[in-house]
Amino acid sequence: MKQFVAEIVSIGRMSHRNLVPLLGYCRRKGELLLVYDFMPNGSLDRYLYNKPEVTLNWKQRINVILGVASGLFYLHEEWEQVVIHRDVKASNVLLDGEFNGRLGDFGLARLYDHGTDPQTTHVVGTLGYLAPEHTRTGRATTATDVFAFGAFLLEVGCGRRPIEIQHETDETFLLVDWVFGLWNKGNILDAVDPNMGSVYDQKEVEMVLKLGLLCSHPDPRARPSMRQVLQYLRGDAKLPDLSPLDLSGSGMMLGVQDGFSELGMSYSSSVFRGFTGGSSIADSLLSGGR
Question: Distance from first CA to last CA of the chain, Å, rounded?
Answer: 20
Beta strands 82-84; 93-95: pairing state:
unpaired
Q: Which residues make Cβ contacts (< 8 Å) with residue 78, sequence separation at least 6?
A: 16
Residue 140 is inside which H or E element, if any?
none
Q: How many residues in total does the chain contain? A: 290
Name residues whose C-beta falls within 8 Å of residue 132's C-beta, 6 or more positions apart in sequence. Answer: 218, 275, 284, 285, 287
Q: Answer whether 159's CB lies under 8 Å from 193's CB.
A: yes
Name the β-bridge partners of 27: 32
149 neighbors 157 (Cβ within 8 angstroms): no
Q: Which of 213, 208, 157 is nearest to 181 (CA)?
A: 213
The question of whether 87 is a catalytic residue gets the answer yes
Pick the catalytic residue: 87, 145, 193, 283?
87
Active-site residue set: 87
